[in-house]
């Protein structure tokens, strides 16, 4: 994927948006004004631009034709203040695809980011039908992971729904993609829907589409993601967050392979494989009445439970080695491996963020590694069955103070490096030190 470009003259906003984009897994560039933005477009491939309307060197809307000339096909989202919401609408006529009114929160920003990047990816997936996530990309040799791989093979031979459960970062999406790619009959694409980030009032039309005139803003017919995934896979992440009002509609789709668009009057038939995932305890949601029991049983035809990393034994080291190999190549650093003295701590640590945390740790360690051996510090062993001892319990504030001190020691008091590791701005770090 190419880069996301953020054009805004407010430094703090540039900083937090670019961090969010990076954390979402995309590369990012920033520009403080229109000239800088055009310069970046001349030299790199940009997929999506967040463009402020009130730039110091002119109105962002006037940049749109130049941007389209330099990067045809790029998607532009305008960032507008309350006072220039009218110009935001005008920018849509100029070719921007959407706008966000300031002040907005990062959840709203992320949801726009994912929506656009996902639909761009879908377009590409259609072109690159042969790029796939094979089961071989799933690293793990422990007993439970071997069972998981067997279930993936079995699931790829049938069309029944799969329900993947597991803590955050345990590889639920990776497994869903592997099932999709291993299905020989799959001609369609893999469409991921994050039920947790879709806005409640748009979720129905995002999923099922709408007919023209279904509501005030519905100026044209729109295909929903269910239809986009036709002959392929619809991956419903965080299924526990699917609004209860939509659950009967999903049930009908699974049972009868038909659905109706918002405002539509006829049923549409569609063949789509449903894979759902959750890291929450669905039983509790069923008890609370926010998740329908009949839908749960219908989704859970093939249950697939991913174990947390702390229960995968030596797989921790296997995964670490694999990440070292690929990331050291990408980061162009020569790394020999995990320092033998650190191996025990890695095996004893409880990895609350699971494989995602391990991957991020390895990446950070490679970046700051000087000796060629990775020696992660701060990996406290998992608490014993009895839980923490009273004397180990400190306040959150004290814990933060100790950790910041540890990181500063590690970076030889280099505050920029420390702020990067802590993933906060230098200003925030300075405030905390004060
Ligand atoms: N067994 C594995 N082998 C190699 N990489 C893995 C494995 N499991 C997970 N990963 C990697 O770890 C990261 C997190 O995985 P993924 O996004 O699939 O987790 P998830 O369970 O869907 O997370 P969340 O619940 O937060 O959405 C990804 O980069 C993924 O490629």
Domain endpoint, select from 102, 130, 158? 130
Q: Say how far apart CA 171 and CA 353 lie, in whole Å.
A: 11
| Residue 424, Cβ density class (10 Å: 0-12 exposed, 13-18 middle, ≥19 buried) | middle
Q: Which residues pair with 134 in a beta bridge?
A: none
Helix (H/G/I), strand (E/B), else coil: 302: strand
In a domain, 384, yes or no: no
Q: Say how far apart CA 357 and CA 309 lie, in whole Å.
A: 10
Per-residue pLDDT tens digits for 349-366: 999 999 999 999 999 999
Domain endpoint, select from 256, 277, 305? 305
Instruction: Count the neighbouring beta carbons within 10 Å of the beta carbon of residue 376.
Output: 17
pLDDT at site 141 = 87
* 241 in contact with ligand 1, CB cutoff 6 A: no
* Structural domains counted in the chain: 4
The tokens describing 94, both together, are: 């100029």
The tokens describing 167, both together, are: 């803590």
Q: Are 266 and 300 contained in the same domain?
A: yes
In a domain, 388, yes or no: no
Q: Is the dihedral of CA 214, 218, 223, 225 positive or negative?
A: negative
- Domain range for 428 is 396-432
Q: Say how far apart CA 216 and CA 374 lie, in whole Å.
A: 57
Q: Are 79 and 151 contained in the same domain?
A: no
Task: Give 278 Cα–ligand 1 centroid separation in angstroms.
Answer: 13
* Statement: residue 386 has pLDDT above 60: no
Q: In angstroms, how far is CA 244 from the centroid of its own chain?
A: 24
* 307 in contact with ligand 1, CB cutoff 6 A: no
Domain containing residue 197: CATH number: 3.40.50.300
In a domain, 242, yes or no: yes
Domain endpoint, select from 305, 340, 365? 305
* Statement: residue 200 has pLDDT above 50: yes
Q: Are 105 and 162 contained in the same domain?
A: no
Domain containing residue 56: CATH number: 3.40.50.2300
Q: Are 118 and 140 contained in the same domain?
A: no
* 174 in contact with ligand 1, CB cutoff 6 A: yes
In a domain, 389, yes or no: no
**Ligand 1 atom showing the smallest separation from residue 139 Cα:** 3
Helix (H) or strand (E) holding 78: strand 75-80
pLDDT at site 271 = 94
**Ligand 1 atom showing the smallest separation from residue 140 Cα:** 1
**Ligand 1 atom showing the smallest separation from residue 279 Cα:** 25
In a domain, 390, yes or no: no
Residue 401 gets which letter from DSSP? Answer: H
Instruction: Give the residue, by CA position, lying nearest to ligand 1 atom 31.
Output: 174
Q: Are 140 and 283 contained in the same domain?
A: yes
* 171 in contact with ligand 1, CB cutoff 6 A: yes
Pocket test for ligand 1, best of 169, 307, 309, 327 (most atoms within 8 A of CB): 169
The tokens describing 2, both together, are: 């190419």
Residue 320 gets which letter from DSSP? Answer: H
Domain containing residue 320: CATH number: 1.10.8.60
Q: Are 344 and 298 contained in the same domain?
A: no
Q: Are 231 and 170 contained in the same domain?
A: yes
Q: Are 148 and 58 contained in the same domain?
A: no
pTM as predicted: 0.62
* 140 in contact with ligand 1, CB cutoff 6 A: yes
Question: Which of these, 95, 398, 126, lies nearest to 406 by C-alpha position?
Answer: 398
Task: Give 20 Cα–ligand 1 centroid separation in angstroms.
Answer: 18
Q: Are 157 and 46 contained in the same domain?
A: no
- Give the mean pLDDT of 236-261: 93
In a domain, 366, yes or no: yes
* 359 in contact with ligand 1, CB cutoff 6 A: yes
The tokens describing 341, both together, are: 């003295």
Per-residue pLDDT tens digits for 394-413: 788 888 888 888 888 777 78
* 166 in contact with ligand 1, CB cutoff 6 A: yes
Residue 135 gets which letter from DSSP? Answer: G
Residue entry with tokens 């839980």: 387
Distance (Å) of CA 166 to CA 181, 277, 278: 21, 8, 7
In a domain, 284, yes or no: yes
| HSE toward the beta carbon, residue 211, CA cutoff 13 A | 11
Domain containing residue 424: CATH number: 1.10.10
Q: Are 125 and 153 contained in the same domain?
A: no
Instruction: Count the neighbouring beta carbons within 10 Å of the beta carbon of residue 39.
Output: 12
Q: Are 147 and 231 contained in the same domain?
A: yes
Identify the band that residue 149 occupies on the pLDDT scale cut at 50, 70 and 90. very high
Residue entry with tokens 């520009």: 31
In a domain, 351, yes or no: yes
Q: Are 297 and 364 contained in the same domain?
A: no
């Amino acid at each position: 994927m190419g880069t996301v470009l953020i054009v805004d003259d407010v430094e703090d906003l540039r900083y937090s948006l670019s961090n969010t984009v990076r954390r979402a897994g995309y590369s990012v560039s920033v520009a403080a004004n229109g000239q800088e933005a055009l310069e970046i477009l001349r030299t790199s491939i940009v997929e999506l631009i967040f463009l402020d309307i009130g730039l110091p060197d002119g109105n962002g809307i006037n940049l749109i034709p130049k941007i389209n000339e330099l990067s045809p096909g790029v998607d532009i989202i305008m960032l507008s203040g309350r006072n220039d919401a009218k110009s935001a609408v005008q920018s849509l006529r100029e070719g921007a695809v959407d706008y966000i009114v300031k002040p907005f929160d990062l959840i709203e920003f992320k949801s726009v980011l994912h929506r656009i990047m996902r639909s761009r990816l879908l377009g590409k997936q259609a072109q690159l039908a042969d790029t796939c996530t094979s089961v071989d990309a799933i690293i793990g040799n422990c007993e439970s992971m071997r069972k998981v791989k067997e279930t993936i093979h079995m699931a790829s031979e049938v069309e029944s729904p799969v329900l993947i459960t597991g803590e955050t970062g345990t590889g639920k999406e990776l497994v869903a993609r592997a099932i999709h790619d291993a299905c020989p009959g799959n001609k369609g694409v893999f469409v991921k829907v994050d039920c947790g980030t879709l806005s409640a009032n748009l979720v129905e039309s995002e999923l099922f589409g709408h007919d023209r005139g279904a509501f005030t803003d519905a100026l044209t017919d729109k295909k929903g993601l269910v239809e986009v995934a036709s002959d392929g896979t619809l991956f419903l992440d965080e299924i526990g967050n699917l609004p209860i009002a939509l659950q009967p509609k999903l049930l009908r789709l699974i049972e009868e392979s038909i659905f109706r668009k918002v405002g539509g009057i006829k049923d549409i038939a569609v063949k789509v494989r449903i894979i759902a995932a959750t890291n929450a305890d669905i039983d509790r949601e069923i008890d609370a009445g926010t998740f329908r029991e009949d839908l749960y049983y219908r989704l859970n035809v093939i249950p697939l439970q991913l174990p947390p990393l702390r229960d995968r034994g030596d797989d921790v080291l296997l995964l670490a080695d694999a990440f070292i190999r690929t990331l050291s190549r990408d980061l162009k650093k020569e790394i020999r491996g995990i320092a033998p003295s650190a191996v025990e701590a890695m095996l004893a640590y409880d990895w609350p963020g699971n494989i995602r945390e391990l991957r991020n740790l390895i990446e950070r360690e490679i970046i700051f590694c000087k000796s060629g051996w990775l020696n992660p510090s701060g990996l406290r062993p998992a608490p014993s069955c009895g839980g923490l001892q009273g004397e180990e319990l400190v306040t959150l504030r004290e814990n933060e103070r100790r950790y910041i001190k540890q990181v500063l020691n590690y970076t030889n008091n280099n505050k920029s490096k420390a702020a990067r590791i802590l993933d906060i701005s230098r200003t925030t770090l300075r405030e905390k030190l004060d």
